[in-house]
Structure 1
Amino acid sequence: MIDTTVFQDKTAVYYTLGCKLNFSETSTIGKILREAGVRAARKGEKADICVVNTCSVTEMADKKCRQAIHRLVKQHPGAFVVVTGCYAQLKPGDVAKIDGVDVVLGAEQKGELLQYLGNLQKHEKGEAITTATKDIRSFSPSCSRGDRTRFFLKVQDGCDYFCSYCTIPFARGRSRNGTIASMVEQARQAAAEGGKEIVLTGVNIGDFGKTTGETFFDLVQALDQIVGIERYRISSIEPNLLTDEIIEFVSHSRSFMPHFHIPLQSGCDEVLKLMRRRYDAALFASKVKKIKEVMPDAFIGVDVIVGTRGETAEFFEQAYRFISGLDVTQLHVFSYSERPGTQALKIDHVVSPEEKHQRSQRLLALSDEKTQAFYARHIGQTMSVLLEKSKGSTPMHGFTKNYIRVEVESDNSLDNQVVNVRLGDFNEDKTALKGTILI
């Protein structure tokens, strides 16, 4: 038994880097500490506990993690500092050496954080507690609201794909998941707490079911039945795991939105092979075509990496032409970062930082062009929007079913409400359409 009396009236701050999954997990850690008697520190208040949930997807992410730890140690002198997440799993020794860090917890330990806090006495030297990647087995459930309108439901963790450029399988372990029954129960609880939208998160969510003998399609069908949840969004799904069956189901679903996020990474088959991706450009194009056939107004976001080893100028141009011809809505563009221990380091032809930047800028410009064209097609239409509370006197924002960001006059009584809005022209910075609420 853990003696929680030591945590009574203690305060904590939380800092999260990286993906939606990390934010979901941090929220769950916060809930665990809150139930033990720890409250969130107020702005400007010195905290007793600092929790940093790290990312390690790029070298820059590692650097930001170190900076965040140093900053929190300085801002909260004497606080008990816990570091977890991907960077902590991959480089536990390095993190433990950072001044002020007390405990470093790996992927297997983060869900049981409470038992590693002891009596909150500072350590003379940081202690790293991790499990070898091959032995990571636990699945820590997480369904978090945080400060947002929507909930984030973690349905899967880990990855078995081992793409040549990626460290995620080493940081999070092999693919695993909870049961559909447990996911349904968490979704019901979210509905009971007033949640109207749930985003399904994970590392490779289309791989759901490996540890329970179920499938992602089974999960989607079960969640669609939950009374009270009006909207689900699939955060990201590999193109080879996005089946026509799933696409067809979403097209007539009660609550799954016409919104997809599909990682492409490159539109050049030669580069996809070097990346060890499990599809080619033709398969990706077929998925986009299928979505648009049954959901013409669907929002499709796409991840692209530029400047990977082996991406020659010719290969990039080929990828650019392919992406330009896709009927997609938005590109999330990342510059390739060398990661120690990955197979990509064996590939010849290194792209210079200057060339990476140039390629990235071209794709970002293409993304803006596609997103604005998609938004413009909807001007004048009336669509349902789930509104989110505004800060101060700023306009309220919300999203349509197909993920168009809408800006309306502030009325915080409409927070977390679905309302009909007539879509007008772009706002000043073209990040949203102005809307008029219809009573």
Structure 2
Amino acid sequence: MIDTNIFQDKTAVYYTLGCKLNFSETSTIGRILREAGVRTARKGEKADICVVNTCSVTEVADKKCRQVIHKLVKQHPGAFVVVTGCYAQLKPDTVAKIEGVDVVLGAEQKKDLLQYLGNLQKHETGEAYTSALKDIRSFAPSCSRGDRTRFFLKVQDGCDYYCSYCTIPFARGRSRNGSIASMVEQASRAAAEGGKEIVLTGVNIGDFGKSTGETFFDLVKALDDVEGIERYRISSIEPNLLTDEIIEYVSRSRRFMPHFHIPLQSGSDEVLKLMRRRYDTASFASKIKKIKEVMPDSFIGVDVIVGTRGETEEYFGQAYEFIKSLDVTQLHVFSYSERPGTQALKIDHVVAPEEKHRRSQQLLELSDEKIRAFYARHIGQTMPVLLERPKPGLPMHGFTPNYIRVEVPHDAALDNRLVSVRLGDFNAGGTALLGTIE
């Protein structure tokens, strides 16, 4: 039995790196600590506990994790420092040796964070608690809002794909999930707490059902019936798992928004084979065409990795032309990073850093062209926008169903409200459309 009296009146700060799933899990950790009596530290206040939820998708991410830990240790002297997340699972001993770190928790341990905090006395050296990959089996539920307007519902964890460049299966374990009934229950609770929008998150969410004999399509249909939730968004889903029946259902659904995020990773079939992806460019293009046929105004975000091993100049040229031809809205561009233990390290032809940068810039410019054209097509239309509380001094903002960012004059009464907005021209930075509430 954990004595929660030691947590009364204690304060904590939280820092999250990486994906939406990490943000969801950090929010759940925060809720666990709040229920034990820990409050979030105010700005400028020295915290008693620091929690860092790490990412390890690239070498840059690893470095940033270390920088964040050093910074928090310096800002909160004497705080009990807990590090979890993918970097913690993959490199627990490295993290434990960082000065000031007390406890390192792996993928299987973070849900039981309280039992590793002891009496919050600092350790001379960090202690690491992780499980072997084969023992990462449990699914820790998470449906959290944190400081955001929208909720993030974790529907799945882990991955069985083992793409040649990726360490996520080693950090997160095998694909697993909770039941549809439990997801519906969590969505209903979010609605009761005033939630209007839920983003479905996970590592490979289209693979939902491995643990329970259900399907992602069944989940989508069940969540669509939850009263009180106005909007759902499907976060990153593998193109081979985004079925025509899901696309057609979303096109008819009142609650699931016309907004997709689909990882392509490369527009070259040869590179896709090297990556061990489970589709080719023809099937990907067919998927985009299907979406646009039934939802012409849908927002489609696409992940692309540049400079992976084996990506020759010719292959990149093919990829660029293919991506340019796609009717997608925005590109999320990542430079390939060598990850220890991955099969990609066996591939010949290494791309120089400066060439990776050049290719990345080329795709980012293409992305800017695509998203600006997409926004411009909607100027003059009136659309429902879910408004969010802004940072001090900034105008309110929110998103249309198809994920166009809109800015309106500040009005605190409109926070978390769906309002009808006429879309005007671009703001000064070109990052949003200016709106007029009707």
TM-score in terms of structure 1 length: 0.99
2:365 matched to 1:365? Answer: yes
Partner letter of residue 125 of structure 1? T
User: What whole-Å deviation, never above 9, does each CA across 1:59-82 have from its counterpart, x for those lacking one?
Assistant: 000000001111111111111111
Q: Which residue of structure 1 aligns with residue 354 of structure 2? A: 354
Provide runs of 4+ in structure 1 moved above 4 Å. none
Q: Hey, what's the Cα distance between the residues in 2 that align with 1:231 and 1:332?
A: 23
Q: Which residue of structure 2 aligns with residue 376 of structure 1? A: 376
Q: Hey, what's the Cα distance between the residues in 1 that align with 2:318 and 2:390?
A: 43
Structure 2 residue runs of 5 or longer lacking an equivalent are: none
Q: Hey, what's the Cα distance between the residues in 1 that align with 2:262 and 2:51?
A: 31
Q: Residue 190 of structure 1 aligns to a residue in which SS?
A: helix
Q: Which residue of structure 1 aligns with residue 306 of structure 2? A: 306
Deviation at 1:134, TM superposition (A): 1.5
Q: Hey, what's the Cα distance between the residues in 2 that align with 1:119 and 1:389?
A: 37
User: What whole-Å deviation, never above 9, does each CA across 1:292-344 have from its counterpart, x for those lacking one?
Assistant: 00000000000000000000000000000000000000000000000000000
Deviation at 1:131, TM superposition (A): 0.2
Deviation at 1:135, TM superposition (A): 1.2
Q: Which residue of structure 2 aligns with residue 54 of structure 1? A: 54
Q: Hey, what's the Cα distance between the residues in 1 that align with 2:121 and 2:414?
A: 45
Q: Hey, what's the Cα distance between the residues in 2 that align with 1:111 and 1:392?
A: 33
2:222 matched to 1:205? Answer: no
Q: Which residue of structure 1 aligns with residue 281 of structure 2? A: 281
Q: How does 1:321-340 map to 2 (within 5 A)?
A: 321-340=321-340
Q: Which residue of structure 2 aligns with residue 30 of structure 1? A: 30
Q: Hey, what's the Cα distance between the residues in 2 that align with 1:300 and 1:426?
A: 20
Partner letter of residue 417 of structure 1? R
Percent identity among equivalent residues? 85
Q: Which residue of structure 1 aligns with residue 4 of structure 2? A: 4
Deviation at 1:409, TM superposition (A): 1.1
Deviation at 1:172, TM superposition (A): 0.4
User: What whole-Å deviation, never above 9, does each CA across 1:261-307 have from its counterpart, x for those lacking one?
Assistant: 00000000000000000000011001000000000000000000000
User: What whole-Å deviation, never above 9, does each CA across 1:220-265 have from its counterpart, x for those lacking one?
Assistant: 0000000000000001100000000000000000200000000000
Structure 1 residue runs of 5 or longer lacking an equivalent are: none
User: What whole-Å deviation, never above 9, does each CA across 1:350-398 have from its counterpart, x for those lacking one?
Assistant: 0000000000000000000000100111011111100111233321100
Q: Residue 73 of structure 1 aligns to a residue in which SS?
A: helix
Q: Which residue of structure 2 aligns with residue 16 of structure 1? A: 16
Q: Which residue of structure 2 aligns with residue 100 of structure 1? A: 100
Q: Hey, what's the Cα distance between the residues in 1 that align with 2:407 and 2:28?
A: 30
Deviation at 1:412, TM superposition (A): 1.2
Q: Hey, what's the Cα distance between the residues in 2 that align with 1:121 and 1:145?
A: 30
Q: How does 1:211-230 map to 2 (within 5 A)?
A: 211-230=211-230
TM-score in terms of structure 2 length: 0.99
2:74 matched to 1:74? Answer: yes
Q: Hey, what's the Cα distance between the residues in 2 that align with 1:53 and 1:183?
A: 23
Partner letter of residue 177 of structure 1? N
Q: Residue 45 of structure 2 aligns to a residue in which SS?
A: coil
Partner letter of residue 241 of structure 1? L
2:252 matched to 1:252? Answer: yes
Q: Residue 104 of structure 2 aligns to a residue in which SS?
A: strand
Number of equivalenced pairs = 438
Q: Once superposed, what is the RMSD of the aligned Cα atoms?
A: 0.6
Q: Residue 292 of structure 2 aligns to a residue in which SS?
A: helix
Q: Hey, what's the Cα distance between the residues in 2 that align with 1:190 and 1:287?
A: 32
